């Protein structure tokens, strides 16, 4: 195992040091302003030495001019004093004029025709959230989809699936384990994945789980790695280079390592993880599953650089998630967030795809059901990344067709009985 910390952290430190310098310069300006204010106040006091000191107004006490007693308003602040007040955050006539101008501008703006946005949705739609966001699915996937998704959120959010680690346990052994511990299970379209129907104890605390003989992972999340053509990799008769571009917590990383071992393929695997605190979790999961040949690079997938070319790239990109995986999803998301995630995903694919070898395979996936992050991004990748979208040769047992002729698999919770998911495959 090797671990490399990104040099980009240095840039972050330099940025922080510059920000401290800017803060000190700002404090210096405020100090100069206070000095000038004190000088003006002393001059004014000398000119008005015949006034009663009890009626003098201390302009450092944070009060507005409008709150002064009428008998003191004859000492109206000068323009320079108003400037000093504005610096300290006090309300002045200048501020009032600015606010009136802004209201006037807003009123004019209301009469303007709505501007057309370059995004998939106009600006008002970008703020859709809650039920408005849910109702979009009727437009995308047919009438009644929104109510079916609500039902799926209640029915399938607690579904449990496990993936058997074939490097430590075979399928006969897992059957014996289920029978011995009276675990009710259901087979799935993946041979080493099982749905847990009922158990009389916490499987996650079992010795088999703690020692990495099986791993809790949603069924749809297990699909991307199964889209890789392992027979093709084996026929290369050389060391295969694999890159996991968004690795932590390691579900797909460990799954890829397991299947490479199962097919007896020599490999070099590199995993990228942006957050340093998540690197430890990634390392622990990989080692718990019994693997020690891997390299982790702590950097952003958008900044990753290398001279290597990879035969397989797995990109399970950061996404907006879905309502089955998170019961509060509708209260936290809007279309604007989704569009921002889609742009981040494009940046990641644009950078990472440069390191795909000729005839290499890139697997793109999200745990989202939003077209902006899925079909729209697939079309963008085809147009901008010199990649060809190919059909996934995997029988999933239900309708997992994509929108607008895109090649891939779309998992809608009410059809797949899993979390929402999307996966598409590219070759160079």
pLDDT at 158: 84
- Same structural domain, 255 and 338: yes
- Same structural domain, 408 and 344: yes
- Same structural domain, 234 and 333: yes
* Average pLDDT in the chain: 79
pLDDT at 349: 98
Between 310 and 105, name the one with better pLDDT. Answer: 310
Catalytically active residues are 367
- Same structural domain, 302 and 369: yes
Q: Is 152 a member of any domain?
A: no
Quick: pLDDT tens for 98-141.
444 444 444 444 444 444 334 444 433 455 556 778 888 898 99
CATH number for the domain that contains residue 371: 3.40.50.150
> How far apart are the C-alpha atoms of 210 and 11, rounded to whole Å?
39
pLDDT at 398: 82
Measured in whole angstroms, the distance separating CA 358 from the mean position of its chain's CA atoms is 29
- Same structural domain, 167 and 311: no
- Same structural domain, 241 and 275: yes
Q: Is 154 a member of any domain?
A: no
- Same structural domain, 213 and 341: no
Q: How many domains does the chain have?
A: 2
Encoding tokens for residue 313? 């790239």
The answer to whether residue 177 scores a pLDDT higher than 60 is: yes
CATH number for the domain that contains residue 184: 3.30.70.1170
The answer to whether residue 204 scores a pLDDT higher than 50 is: yes
Between 127 and 302, name the one with better pLDDT. Answer: 302
Domain final residue pick, 202, 217, 232: 217
Range of the domain at 308: 219-427
pLDDT at 123: 39
Quick: pLDDT tens for 38-74.
555 554 454 444 444 444 444 444 444 455 555 555 5
Q: How confident is the model at residue 253 (pLDDT cuts 50, 70, 90)?
A: very high
Mean pLDDT of the region 267-290: 94
Number of other residues whose CB lies within 10 A of the CB of residue 262? 13
- Same structural domain, 241 and 370: yes
The answer to whether residue 258 scores a pLDDT higher than 80 is: yes
Return the exposure string of 214-233: e unless at least 16 CB atoms fall within 10 Å of the residue's CB, then b. bbebbbbbbbbbbbbebeeb
> How far apart are the C-alpha atoms of 222 and 354, rounded to whole Å?
25
Domain final residue pick, 197, 217, 237: 217
The answer to whether residue 270 scores a pLDDT higher than 70 is: yes
Measured in whole angstroms, the distance separating CA 396 from the mean position of its chain's CA atoms is 27
- Same structural domain, 205 and 235: no
Q: Is 193 a member of any domain?
A: yes
- Same structural domain, 357 and 297: yes
pLDDT at 77: 58
CB 305 within 8 A of CB 355: no
């Amino acid at each position: 195992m090797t671990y490399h910390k990104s040099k980009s952290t240095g840039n972050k430190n330099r940025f922080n040091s510059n920000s401290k310098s800017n803060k000190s310069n700002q404090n210096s300006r405020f100090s100069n302003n206070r000095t000038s204010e004190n000088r003006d106040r002393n001059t004014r006091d000398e000119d008005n030495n015949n006034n009663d000191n009890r009626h003098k107004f201390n302009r450092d006490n944070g009060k507005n001019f409008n709150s002064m007693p009428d008998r003191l308003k004859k000492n109206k602040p000068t323009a320079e004093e108003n400037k000093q007040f504005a610096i300290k955050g006090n309300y002045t006539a200048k501020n009032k004029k600015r606010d009136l101008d802004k209201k006037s501008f807003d009123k004019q703006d209301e009469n303007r025709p709505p501007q057309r946005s370059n995004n998939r949705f106009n600006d008002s739609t970008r703020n859709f959230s809650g039920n408005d966001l849910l109702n979009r699915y009727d437009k995308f996937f047919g009438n009644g989809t929104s109510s079916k998704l609500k039902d799926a959120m209640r029915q399938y959010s607690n579904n449990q699936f496990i993936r058997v680690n074939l490097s430590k346990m075979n399928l006969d052994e897992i059957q014996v384990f289920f029978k011995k511990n009276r675990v009710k299970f259901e087979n799935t379209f993946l041979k080493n994945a099982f749905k847990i129907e009922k158990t009389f104890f916490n499987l996650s605390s079992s010795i088999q789980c703690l020692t990495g003989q099986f791993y809790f992972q949603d069924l749809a999340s297990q699909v991307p790695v199964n889209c890789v053509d392992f027979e093709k990799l084996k026929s290369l008769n050389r060391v295969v280079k694999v890159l996991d571009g968004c690795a932590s917590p390691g579900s797909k990383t460990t799954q890829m390592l397991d299947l490479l071992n199962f097919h007896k393929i020599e490999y070099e695997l590199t995993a990228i993880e942006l957050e340093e605190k998540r690197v430890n979790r990634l390392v622990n999961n990989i080692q718990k599953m019994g693997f020690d040949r891997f390299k982790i690079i702590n950097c952003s997938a958008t900044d990753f650089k290398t001279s290597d070319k990879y035969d397989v790239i797995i990109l399970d990109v950061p996404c907006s998630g879905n309502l089955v995986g998170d019961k509060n999803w509708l209260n936290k998301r809007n279309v604007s967030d989704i569009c921002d995630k889609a742009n981040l995903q494009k940046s990641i694919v644009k950078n990472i795809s440069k390191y795909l070898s000729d005839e290499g395979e890139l697997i793109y996936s999200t745990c989202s059901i939003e077209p902006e992050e899925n079909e729209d991004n697939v079309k963008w990748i085809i147009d901008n990344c010199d990649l060809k979208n190919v059909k996934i040769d995997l029988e999933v047992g239900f309708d997992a067709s994509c929108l607008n002729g895109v090649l891939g698999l779309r998992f809608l919770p009410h059809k797949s009985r899993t979390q929402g998911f999307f996966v598409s495959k590219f070759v160079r």
